[in-house]
Each structure stands twice: as structure tokens, then as C-alpha cells.
Structure 1
Amino acid sequence: MARLLAAWLACYLVFCIVVNETIYEPRGRDIGGYYALVALGLGTWVLSVAFTHIRRVRLVAGTVNASALSNRQRRQIEIPFEAGEAFDLIEAAIRELPGAVVAESARDSLQVRAKLRRVDPYGGEPRGDSPVAAWALDHFGSRRNQILATVTPNGDDAGSVTLLCEPEGAVWTDLFLVDHGTNLENAEAIVRAITRRVAERRRAEAAGVRQTATEKELTVAKLNLLHAQVEPHFLYNTLASAQVLTRSDPARADEMLGNLIQYLRHSLPRTEDAPSTLGEELERARAYLDILKIRMGPRLQLQVDVPDLLRGVLFPTMMLQTLVENAIKHGLEPKPGGGTVWILARQVDSAVAVTVADDGRGFTAEGGGTGVGLRNVRERLRLAYGSAASFSIVANFPSGVAATITVPNVAGAKVQGGSVGAGVHHA
């Protein structure tokens, strides 16, 4: 208040001296009383404007100090995004200000300049009816404010924003004019907008993390459920067969139970967090087929062609056994003379293709179709590998079916050999 009063009265004093010396003093006239009256009115007006400014700043900022009362506001804002994202964020925040017009937006130099038409918080927009008033408003810069924002990169994942909010007029006009806290409001509004956008970004990231965790839990649960749908079917059939053999052929029942123990040794404990290998799954399949050989006798033959270098490749649990079981149930058991099951594995580029083929009934009404087991294979592959794995089932030549699972060769083993298709044709 003292600064504004001193500045205006100093200018008025200079004005009075000039007018008195050039106009009234040569004529011998003394109008000192009028000078004093005008000075009183001018001082009252200046004090009322200053008081209004102080009170409004207190309402906006909640406190009164030199920084809050200043017409020119500076903020240093740290944004936890890389410079390009920080620039986009600050530009969007400035554009959202009421009446803001971005005069210059240079993404390469990371600078934004904007103009804002200032609104008198107590009198509405200045009408500018009087030419003198319009000239004064234009030249003293009370019609518009301006904003300059500069982004400085702070490493790869952070940016620092220097924000300047000030009147459009020159700095010396601050000796005579106040902005009634409009630039303080602009600076605080931009800070709030940035804070809100950063918080929204953090909430979105947190929601994404929670969604990912939930999807992972659901995936594991679905994998466990699909796995659980396969195991009981085989166990029930084996125990039922062993129960029959205990009355008719105790020796073969004992052999079957021994093979079942061997099978369970390769199966338990097994969780989806501990992936199996192709070698382990092959041993499990052999134990399974040994059990079935007791039941089917010479009607079941087995041929295995799996290179030793591929036995260490990670392979989904129970999938090989599912394909083998499907070949027996739908291919060989319905065929009066039985047949052969082939288990083949080949390196194909950066993947491993494992094929289970048979020469059974094939795709016929009597031979059955692709039921729950094969649907589970497809679903488990999709959940575990996405598009990196595949499953196909085709007719074998001259009869039967060939099912192939292709998974990434995570073990990185390289072998030489023919294609899977050639192996199936030979089968």
C-alpha cells in the first residue's frame, strides 16, 4: 500500500510542479488548495485499490506475503514424466484455463506461451468505452495476462517446468497497477491441473497393475482347473481296471498298480508355477501307456522319436499325456485290431513341435471327435503362451489322427532333424 501510494503521489507531485510552473505561476495564480484536494482523492483511490488487492489475495492464497501479493508469479514444478510427456501435460493444463489462447507452442524447444484476457473480479470485463481508458488499459497492460512455461529434462523419466504468470505490461507498471490476484489464480490453477493429471496417471497405472495381478490370478486358477479336469478321468479308469484285475489276474493288477505309482511319481507334486520338461512329460506318458498295455495287450504298440537334446525343453504339464489319452480313447480302442501310437519331437526354427499320432479310426463318427481334453489343451496354451504357441490336429496317413503342440524352445537346444510333417507321414 505504501509503495503504490508513494508511486502515484510522486507522479502527481511532478505533474503539479510542471503544471504550476508552466501555466499558473506565470499568471500569478495560486491553486494549491485544489492540488491538495486532488491529492487526497487520488490517495484514497490508490489505498482502496491496494486494500482490495490485499484482501483478494488473502482470499485466494489464504495468506499475505510479498510472493503472494506480487503481480508476477513464478512456479517450479517437478513432473515425474519424461520431458515430452511433461510438455504435453503443461500445454493441456494451460489450454484449459478460461479465456486462454496459446500464442506459441514449440515442442522441440519445450516452451509454451499463452495470453489470457484478464477479467476484473469485481467489475466484469473492462468496457473500454472511453478512448483514453482504452489507451491506458492497452499501454498499462491491465487487459491481458501472459504465461510462459519452459520444460527442462531431468533424466529419462522426469521433467522440470518453470512457470511464469505475469501481466502483459512492462515490469515498471507494477509500481502503479495491481492484478487483483489474477496471476496468482492462474499459477495455482495450472499447478492444480498438473497435480490432477499426474494423480489420474498414477491411478490408471495402479489400476493397470491391479488388473494385471487379477488377470494373472485368474489365469493360474483357470490353468489349475483345466489341469484338474484331466487327472481324475485317467485315475478313475486305472483304479477301476486294477479292481477288476485283482479278481481275475492279481499279477497283472500288481503290475498295473506299480505303473500307476510310477505315473503318480512323475505327476505329484506339480503346480503351474513349476513347469515340466518334455523329458518328464514323456516319462509320464510312458507310464500311462504301460498301464494301458496291460489292459489292451498286443493291440497297443508304441514308437518314440524324441531327441535327447529336446528333453530338457520346458513343456506344459499333462498336455502330452492328454494327446496320448485322446489317441487311445478315440483312435485305437474303438478299432478292433488296435494300432500304434507315435510320439515325435522336432526343432522348428526357435520352437519345438511335439506330435502324437495314431493309426486308429481317425475323424469318423465311430472314432469320436475333439472333446474337452483338446479344448483344454488349446485354452491352456493360450493362457500360458499367448500367440507364441499353437495347437493343430489333422488326419494322419493312411489312417488315424496327428495332433501337434508347438511351444517356444526356451531351453535353446538346437538339433538337426526332419520336419514334423515328415515324421507323421512316416507314421
Structure 2
Amino acid sequence: MASIRFIARLIAAWIAALCVVVVMWQSLDWTHDFPWFFTLAWCVGLLLALARGVTHLYRVRTIAGRIDQETVANRQRRRVEVPYSVDEALDLVEGVVRALPDIQDVTAARGGLQVRGMIRHAVAEPQSLPLRKRRPHDPFQRDTRVNASVVPGEGACTVLFVCEPDSGAWTDWFNPDGGVSLELAETLVRALTQRITERRNRERADARQTVMEKELTAAQLNLLQAQVEPHFLYNTLASAQELVRTDPVRADKMLGHLIDYLRRSLPRTDGSLSTVGQELERSTSWLEIMRLRMGERLAVHVDVPASCMAYAMPSMMLQTLVENAIKHGLEPKPGGGGIWIRAACDPVGLSLTVADDGMGLRSDGSGSGIGLKNLRERLRLTYGGSATFTIGNNFPSGVAATITLPVTEATHA
């Protein structure tokens, strides 16, 4: 029925146009009859309009799979929900509109949240193309306006596509557009939906990758926490065994610090953050063992305010910096040296520095291996870009490494 109504409306429009012309002719009070060539032109126009109407219905059925009042219209509207912010939605819409074939004069009015363009159907084909590959042009086909508007919402946007012939609405009664507006509207909806799907797939893939990286880093951390360097254990136990015979009091202290260090080095199975106080106790136990082994060659200076003790930080990070300072800075240095642990905190974040006056940064890359690489990766996965890690030469000698962390929900837990 929709197709019959469409053809009947087309015929009625042409008959009405003929009646108007006849009435106007008679109103002029001319003595001669209505010109036959006007009637012939009207008949030819009606036949062409009917041919275009049949073509219009055929294309509409091919594109939409149905013929109804919505699909046969020359002016098409489509709405698409976009789960992104206004700026992101505008970028997607502009990319979709610019990708249309024969699109020209594309303008993006970001202040008005609109993207406009014009489909030129009479685009000249390159002369280099052979005639059999050139598209036939329809002299009755009108250019088509494409307008896309973005309507902001809460957490999402609505995109409204409007495709319509570039002429007055009254011309639709006489000259169907052959389903061009319907095809463009459907193309825009499909293209935008595809881009949204591709973007969400990338976001899900990035999220899965991030989760995998976090799980891998957590596994590496658990392995790091679960294992204590064999040489450190062997050397500490050997030193304690020797001190049992020569200095039992120092041997007892060393074993006590070792037990305390091992107890604090157990893996955190819940994946939660540690605190500055807990990490400082772990590193202090380790340093006490090293001070008993190195004697006067190692001086430890701790300057951490009590107000910073409850601030949250990833476990084993302070220990990594302390071990690097001892192993790569002070142990190789004749006569040893000192290590400083300093912290500063405010409502915005925490700054933690480990410095030494040892050998400094060396050309052989000592102190820049897997431990610091793992530390940087854990900072990135835990805090994104809001945490920083810097390492450089200390004055007058040695190395200073600083971690800057933002305040988290667990900071004062």
C-alpha cells in the first residue's frame, strides 16, 4: 500500500501542477487554446517522474528491505547513541561524514556541535578513466545535504543525522531522489556504529592488556617477595655463625634482624598497598644486618617524619632503592659510606628519596637493571602518569633516587 500511495501522490502532484498552469493560462484571457507543447512537456515530465518513482521504490526496497512511509521519504533522520563525551563523539562523527563518497564542503562547527557537508552528484569524472568505467549522471538528481548534530547527555551523547535533497520540500512531490538520502542515512549509521564497536574493542583489549600486565607484575613481585637472595642469606648466616663464637651478642642481634626482615618480606596476597612505615621497618631490618656485616663502613641516616608513616606506597619499592644503593654504590667503594632515607609529605602526595655517597652512576650500567625497570613498570600500572621516578648523581658523590607518589584512598588507612 505504501508504494501505491507514493505513486498516487506523485501523479496527483503533477495533475495539480497542470491544473494550476491551465487556470493561470485562462486567467490571462487569451483567445487561443492551451498550447499543445505544454501538454506534451507535462506528459513527458509525468512519465519521467513515474520512472524515477519506480526506481525510487526499487532502491528503497533493496536498501531497507521494506517499503513504508518512513523509508520512501526523500528526507531521512537517524539517531545513534554514542557512549562518549561530546568532543569524542564529534571526532567520530566528523570522521564518518568525511569518509562519505563525493562529500564536499565539510565544515565542523564545534561551538554548535554540528558537522555539515554536501554530496555533489554531478562530480566530473577524471578524463583518464575509460568511458565504460565512468558513472552515468542523472540530470534530474539533486545534490544532497548531510547534517550531523551532537546532543550532550549524562555520560553519553545522541547523534542526529539528517540527509535531504538540496532543494525545497515542495520538489519532493515531483522528483523523488531515488533512495539517495535513505542510502546515505543508513551508511552513516552503519559507519558510526562500526567505529564505536572498533573503539570499544580496542578499549577492552587495552583493559585486558593492562590487567595482564598487572597480573604479571604482581607475579613478579610475589616472586621477588617470596625469595630472598641466596647470597644474602648465606652470607648473613655465615656471619652469624662466626659471631656466635666471637661475639654472641652481635650474633643474636643479626639473627633477630634477619627474622624480622624475613617476616616482613612475606608476599601480600591481597594485592593491597603497603605503607611508608611498614616499608621503612623492612628496609631498616635489612640495613641493620648490612651494618653488622660491614661495620663502620656503613652509616645509616633516616629522616622520615611521623606524619608520613601512614602514607600508602607499593611494597618492596623502598627496599629496591636501598639494595641498589648498598650493592652498587657503597659495597664496591673502599671505605664504604653513608645512605640517607628521606621523606616529605603533604595533602597532595609523598616524596621519598634514597641517596648515597658511593660510586655513583657508572658507564657499565650497574644499578639500572631489572629491579629499577620493574619499579618503573609498577608505578605506571599502579598510578598511571601521576607518579614519577627520577635517578641521578648525588652531590658531591653517589646517587640519589626519588619516588613521588600521589595521595590514594588507602593513604591514611
TM-score using structure 2 length: 0.69
SS in 2 for 1:78: strand
- Alpha-carbon offset, residue 288 of structure 1: 3.7
Aligned partner of 1:86: which letter? A
Residue-by-residue CA offset, 1:367-414 (whole Å, 9 max, x unaligned) = x99876664553344234466233345476xxxx644332337679xx
Aligned to 2:80: 77
Aligned to 1:262: 260
- Alpha-carbon offset, residue 322 of structure 1: 1.1
Structure 1 pair 115–371 and aligned structure 2 pair: CA distance change class (3 A): closer
CA distance in 2: counterparts of 1:177 and 1:319, whole angstroms: 78
Aligned to 1:56: 59
Residues 1:233 and 2:236 aligned together: no
Aligned partner of 1:126: which letter? D
- The correspondence of residues 1-40 of structure 1 with structure 2, limited to 5 A, is 1-12=7-18, 22-23=31-32
**Contact 1:281-1:317 at 8 Å conserved across structures:** yes
Aligned to 1:177: 175
Residue identity over aligned pairs, in percent, reads 37
Which of 209, 212, 236 is the matching residue for 2:210?
A: 212
Residues 1:125 and 2:127 aligned together: no
**Contact 2:141-2:177 at 8 Å conserved across structures:** no
Aligned to 1:378: 372
Aligned partner of 1:167: which letter? P
What is the aligned-residue RMSD (CA, Å)? 4.7
Structure 1 pair 58–289 and aligned structure 2 pair: CA distance change class (3 A): closer
Which of 146, 159, 162 is the matching residue for 2:160?
A: 162
Aligned to 1:329: 331
Residue-by-residue CA offset, 1:299-324 (whole Å, 9 max, x unaligned) = 56655443552544556242365156
CA distance in 1: counterparts of 2:356 and 2:87, whole angstroms: 56
- Alpha-carbon offset, residue 11 of structure 1: 4.5
Aligned to 1:109: 112
Q: How many residues are aligned here? A: 373
- Alpha-carbon offset, residue 63 of structure 1: 0.4
Aligned to 2:390: 390
Instruction: Point out the structure with max Rg over C-alpha.
Output: 1
Residues 1:319 and 2:313 aligned together: no
**Contact 1:281-1:320 at 8 Å conserved across structures:** no
CA distance in 2: counterparts of 1:114 and 1:410, whole angstroms: 46
SS in 1 for 2:401: strand
Residues 1:407 and 2:403 aligned together: yes
SS in 2 for 1:330: coil
- Alpha-carbon offset, residue 58 of structure 1: 0.9
- Alpha-carbon offset, residue 264 of structure 1: 1.5
SS in 2 for 1:66: coil
Aligned partner of 1:144: which letter? R
TM-score using structure 1 length: 0.67
**Contact 1:282-1:320 at 8 Å conserved across structures:** no
Aligned to 1:153: 151
CA distance in 1: counterparts of 2:89 and 2:169, whole angstroms: 29
**Contact 2:390-2:403 at 8 Å conserved across structures:** yes
**Contact 1:145-1:165 at 8 Å conserved across structures:** no
Structure 1 pair 391–151 and aligned structure 2 pair: CA distance change class (3 A): same
Aligned to 2:127: none
CA distance in 2: counterparts of 1:393 and 1:248, whole angstroms: 40
**Contact 1:118-1:182 at 8 Å conserved across structures:** no
Residue-by-residue CA offset, 1:333-386 (whole Å, 9 max, x unaligned) = x65xxx66554535499754544547xxx549xxx9987666455334423446
Residues 1:345 and 2:342 aligned together: yes
**Contact 2:60-2:66 at 8 Å conserved across structures:** yes
SS in 1 for 2:178: coil
- Alpha-carbon offset, residue 59 of structure 1: 1.2
**Contact 1:116-1:144 at 8 Å conserved across structures:** no
Residue-by-residue CA offset, 1:159-190 (whole Å, 9 max, x unaligned) = 33333322233222223222221221122122
Residues 1:66 and 2:88 aligned together: no
Aligned partner of 2:342: which letter? A
**Contact 1:82-1:153 at 8 Å conserved across structures:** no
SS in 1 for 2:70: helix
CA distance in 2: counterparts of 1:307 and 1:117, whole angstroms: 72
Which stretch shifts more, 150-159 or 92-101? Answer: 150-159
Residues 1:97 and 2:78 aligned together: no
**Contact 1:83-1:151 at 8 Å conserved across structures:** no
Structure 1 pair 275–67 and aligned structure 2 pair: CA distance change class (3 A): closer
**Contact 1:151-1:159 at 8 Å conserved across structures:** no
Structure 1 pair 37–67 and aligned structure 2 pair: CA distance change class (3 A): same
What 5-or-longer segments of structure 2 have no aligned partner?
1-6, 123-134, 381-386, 409-413
**Contact 2:114-2:150 at 8 Å conserved across structures:** no
Aligned partner of 2:14: which letter? W
Structure 1 pair 370–282 and aligned structure 2 pair: CA distance change class (3 A): farther
Structure 1 pair 304–322 and aligned structure 2 pair: CA distance change class (3 A): same
CA distance in 2: counterparts of 1:185 and 1:160, whole angstroms: 21
CA distance in 2: counterparts of 1:181 and 1:295, whole angstroms: 88
Aligned to 1:132: none
Residue-by-residue CA offset, 1:208-260 (whole Å, 9 max, x unaligned) = 32333334334444555666786333113223444566788888766643442
Structure 1 pair 72–225 and aligned structure 2 pair: CA distance change class (3 A): same
Structure 1 pair 244–370 and aligned structure 2 pair: CA distance change class (3 A): farther
CA distance in 2: counterparts of 1:89 and 1:10, whole angstroms: 45
**Contact 1:144-1:168 at 8 Å conserved across structures:** yes
- Alpha-carbon offset, residue 147 of structure 1: 1.8
- Alpha-carbon offset, residue 144 of structure 1: 1.7
Structure 1 pair 57–372 and aligned structure 2 pair: CA distance change class (3 A): same
**Contact 1:150-1:161 at 8 Å conserved across structures:** yes
Aligned partner of 2:137: which letter? E
Structure 1 pair 356–152 and aligned structure 2 pair: CA distance change class (3 A): closer
SS in 2 for 1:164: strand
CA distance in 2: counterparts of 1:161 and 1:264, whole angstroms: 60
**Contact 1:307-1:345 at 8 Å conserved across structures:** yes
Residue-by-residue CA offset, 1:95-148 (whole Å, 9 max, x unaligned) = 3332222276533333444333347xxx92136xxxxxxxxxxxxxx3323325
CA distance in 1: counterparts of 2:368 and 2:21, whole angstroms: 99
